[in-house]
Structure formats: structure tokens, C-alpha cells
Amino acid sequence: MINLFPYKVINLQIPQSPNEIRQKLNDIVDHGFPFEGIVNHDNFCIRRKILYWNSFLPIIQGKMWEDGYKTTRMVVIFKLSRKITFFYFPVMFGGSLVISIGCLIQSWIHQQLSFSGILFSLALPTFFYTMALFGYSLELRFSLKIFCASLFENDWHGKW
């Protein structure tokens, strides 16, 4: 199922200590493949390393803490970069609003209602929004699979 917003939160309970998880995260980040980013004492912010540019690549932020003897709880957030979130969506919807207002003004001036301009101004951002969500969901699925396989050493066979 595709979310309406490019944002996903997962909660993990891992039967390893936070130090072991931190070491695994450092290993997959320090070697430069498949992820790059920052791993601190109790949180991390990483991104999948790719050889091409992709706007929909999710940023993976997480926080971990000890939840008993040799058990770690982790909250992982997958989201789009701020540049895309604060540029792409407002520009698309702001542009459609300007086009809609322009079409309404033109219809008022010419005394006839033009549905094609209004329909176009609504269809264009809907198309781009759908494209952005589809691209993000594909990249999310792939990044989540690689993240879990790297963290659990290919011992993970779950579904999301």
C-alpha cells in the first residue's frame, strides 16, 4: 500500500546490544557501500549510496536504545530530503493554484467558463504527486530491503 505522504516509520526490536548494532551500522557506513552518512552513539542518519542522482532516495534516520539485556529497540524513519519536500510539493501545488486562478480570471474576462485550463491545472500536480509517491515507494522498498539485509546480515526475510 502506498502512503499518502513520503514518510515511513518502523519499530524494530533486535536481540543484540546497542554496541553491536552501532558497530554494524559503522561497518556499512565506513566501507562506503551500500550506505553513507553519520552514526552517533544513539542515533544515525544515513542514505543509500548510488552511482546516479535520484531525488526520491529516502534519508534513513534512526534512534536506538537498550531495552533489556542484549536487546535493542530501534525506531527508523524513512523520509524524503528537505529540499524535495519543501521545494517539489509547494512549487507543484503553488503553480497549479496560479494556473487555476489565471484560468478563472480569463473565464471571467471572456464571460465563458473554461474547464480545460482548470482541469489541466488540477491534473498536472496530481500527475507529479503520483509520480513522486510512486518513485519514493520504489526507492523506499529497495532501501528498506538493503538496510535490513545489511543490519541483520542477510538473516532477515520479512515483508513490509
Measured CA to CA, the distance from residue 105 to residue 149 in angstroms comes to 55
Measured CA to CA, the distance from residue 59 to residue 143 in angstroms comes to 9
Residue 78 domain-assigned?
Answer: yes
d(CA 37, CA 21): 15
Q: What are phi and psi of 55, to 5 degrees?
A: -70, -25
Q: What is the sign of the dihedral through the CA atoms of 134, 135, 136 and 138?
A: positive
Is residue 63 classed as helix, strand or coil in its secondary structure? strand
Per the domain annotation, does 126 fall within a domain?
A: yes
- List the beta bridge partners of residue 7: 79
Instruction: Identify the DSSP state of 1.
Output: -
Write down the residue that cell numbers 553513507 correspond to: 36
Mark residue 154 as left, alpha or beta (left: phi above 0; alpha: psi -120 to 50; beta: remaining). Answer: left
Residue 128 in any domain: the answer is yes
- Domain membership of residue 160 (yes or no) is no
> What cell does 55 get?
531525488
**Domain membership of residue 55 as a residue range:** 1-155
Q: Is residue 96 part of a domain?
A: yes
| Domain assignment of residue 86, yes or no | yes
Does any domain span residue 37? yes
- Please report, in tens digits, the pLDDT of each residue of the chain (160 residues total): 556 778 889 998 888 888 888 888 888 888 767 888 999 989 999 988 887 777 788 899 999 999 877 788 999 999 988 877 777 767 777 777 787 778 778 777 887 766 776 777 778 777 878 888 888 888 888 888 888 888 876 554 444 4
What domain count does the chain have?
1
Does residue 1 lie in a domain region? Answer: yes
Q: Which helix (H) or strand (E) holds 61?
A: strand 59-66
Q: What CATH number is associated with residue 53?
A: 3.30.310.80
pLDDT at 156: 47
Q: How far is CA 148 from CA 24, 65, 73, 89, in A?
A: 11, 18, 14, 29
